[in-house]
Amino acid sequence: MNTLKEKTENLVTATERLLQDFGRERTERIEEREKLNSRIKDLEAELEEMSARNTRSAKASEVSISNPINQSPDTVALSAENIDALVEEIDACLNLLKI
């Protein structure tokens, strides 16, 4: 039969193993938490960068929509003349097709 001393030694040995396992698991959890926190920080930085890019893009599109390319009056008139000529040409083609 096991004596009280042997039982105590076995209990102490088992407790030491449990404490070592607990310490190992705790260390692994801390390392995993640090990796996850690092990943979160990386993702947050990436999100901020994408958000900034999106904001810049939105502002650029607003500027291009609200401020069309500055055209001189001659250019605008030329464009209107070209459009008129194009409309006349289309009308002429349509009239030819109706013959």
The string of pLDDT tens digits covering residues 39-92 is 999 999 999 999 998 888 888 777 655 555 666 666 666 677 788 888 888 888
Q: Show me where the domains of the chain are located.
A: 1-68, 71-99
Q: What pLDDT was estimated at residue 87?
A: 86
Residue 6: CB atoms within 10 Å: 10
Q: What pLDDT was estimated at residue 12?
A: 96
**Angstrom distance (rounded) from CA 85 to CA 96:** 17
Residues in the chain: 99
Within the chain, strands assigned E span: none
Please determine, for residue 14, whether its predicted confidence score (pLDDT) is greater than 80.
yes
Does the predicted model carry a pTM greater than 0.75? Answer: no
Name, in order, each residue with C-beta under 8 angstroms of 10's C-beta and a sequence gap of 6 or more. 2
Give the N- to C-terminal CA distance of the chain in Å, as an integer: 121
**Angstrom distance (rounded) from CA 33 to CA 38:** 8
Tokens 């500027």 belong to which residue? 63
